[in-house]
Structure formats: structure tokens, C-alpha cells
């Protein structure tokens, strides 16, 4: 599966929320996400542009691998594989024993909205500010999906500089 998304820093998350709701977006959940990122002992994910993330929400825990990023029509495109797990401490223990090292933690409050087949996330990221992500998961034409993401961004009034860096990369760049 491919994740096609845009991320835009926004000064007023409330205005975007109002537009998403007015356009028919439905709030599906609001979560505090605690994302722990790991680096591998056999290659540096910062160099290979990969990510291994453990996400804890209090409701569920998911391990995610993200492949190297590509950009199509201003959208970030990358392979994403997810696995739900039951015990984050055991996962941490296993990969730490294998030589993986936790490099950073990203905390955010995220509102998930469903709009058609898009997920729109309104994020308040600790230490970084407010962002909107518009995401589409596709297993086919990435260019067509990126064009659809663009159209949805325009409809939602999400303008401004598109950020292709992950929250992890943004956080590490402020250190």
C-alpha cells in the first residue's frame, strides 16, 4: 500500500476544522499519540529515509515501517506497513536486544476526520505547532491519488508551504 499525503503548517487549526466539517468531513476520533522512533543497527534510517515507529494511543499500539519518500505533484508518497501489537514494552525489549535504538519521541494531539476516502488529520504537535495532513491510501495510480489530494486540499482551504519532512525530522532539526 502507498500512503499519499500532504502536510501543511497552519496558523489557525480552528478555521481548517470548520471548513472540513462544513465540507462533510466527520470526526472519527481524537487521540493523544505517543510515537517512539527507532534506528537500526545495520543501517541509518536517517540516511536511507526510512522510519520504524511504535505508536501508542491508549486505545491501541501499532508498529509502522515507512519506506523512503518520493514526491509526486507536491504530495509525499511512501510505502507504509502497519502491525497492531498488544504489548509495547515487549516490542521495545525485543528490538532493543536486537540493537535498535530509540532516537526520539513525538507527542501530538490528533483529530481524525473522514472525508470520502481521505483521512484528514488536524495535529497539535508538541514543540512544533499546528499542522493539517490530508492522506489517501492507494495501491494503484499514485499520480491520480496525488491529484485528488491536491483537489481536496483546495476544497478544505489548506494552503501554504507543503512540508515533506516527517514530524520526527522536524523535531530533530530543532535540536
Cell triple for residue 45?
534510517
Cell triple for residue 131?
499542522
- Cα separation, 63 vs 35, in Å, equals 10
Does residue 167 carry a catalytic annotation? no
From 37, 38, 112, 113, active-site residue: 37
Transcribe 6-44 into DSSP letters. EEEE-S-HHHHHHHHHHTT-EEEEEEEEEEEEEE-SSS-
CA 94 to chain centre: 24
Phi, psi of 117 (to 5 degrees): -105, 20
- 53-59 contacts at long range (C-beta below 8 A, 24 or more positions apart): 53/168, 54/88, 54/91, 54/92, 56/88, 57/31, 57/32, 57/33, 58/31, 58/32, 59/31
Q: Rg of the chain's alpha carbons, rounded to an integer?
A: 16
Question: So which residues are the catalytic ones?
Answer: 37
Amino acid at each position: 500500500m502507498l500512503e499519499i499525503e500532504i502536510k501543511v503548517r497552519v496558523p489557525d487549526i480552528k478555521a481548517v476544522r470548520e471548513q472540513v466539517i462544513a465540507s462533510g468531513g466527520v470526526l472519527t476520533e481524537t487521540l493523544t499519540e505517543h510515537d517512539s522512533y527507532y534506528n537500526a543497527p545495520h543501517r541509518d534510517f536517517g540516511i536511507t529515509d526510512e522510519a520504524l515507529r511504535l505508536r501508542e494511543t491508549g486505545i491501541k499500539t501499532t508498529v509502522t515501517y515507512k519506506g523512503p519518500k518520493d514526491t509526486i505533484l507536491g504530495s509525499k508518497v511512501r510505502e507504509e506497513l502497519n502491525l497492531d501489537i498488544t504489548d509495547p514494552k515487549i516490542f521495545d525489549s525485543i528490538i532493543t536486544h536486537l540493537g535498535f535504538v530509540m532516537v526520539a519521541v513525538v507527542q501530538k494531539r490528533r483529530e481524525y476526520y473522514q472525508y470520502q476516502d481521505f483521512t484528514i488529520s488536524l495535529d497539535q504537535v508538541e514543540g512544533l505547532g499546528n499542522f493539517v495532513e490530508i492522506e489517501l491510501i492507494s495501491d494503484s495510480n499514485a499520480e491520480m491519488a496525488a491529484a485528488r489530494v491536491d483537489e481536496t486540499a483546495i476544497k478544505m482551504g489548506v494552503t501554504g508551504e507543503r512540508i515533506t519532512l516527517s514530524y520526527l525530522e522536524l523535531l530533530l532539526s530543532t535540536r
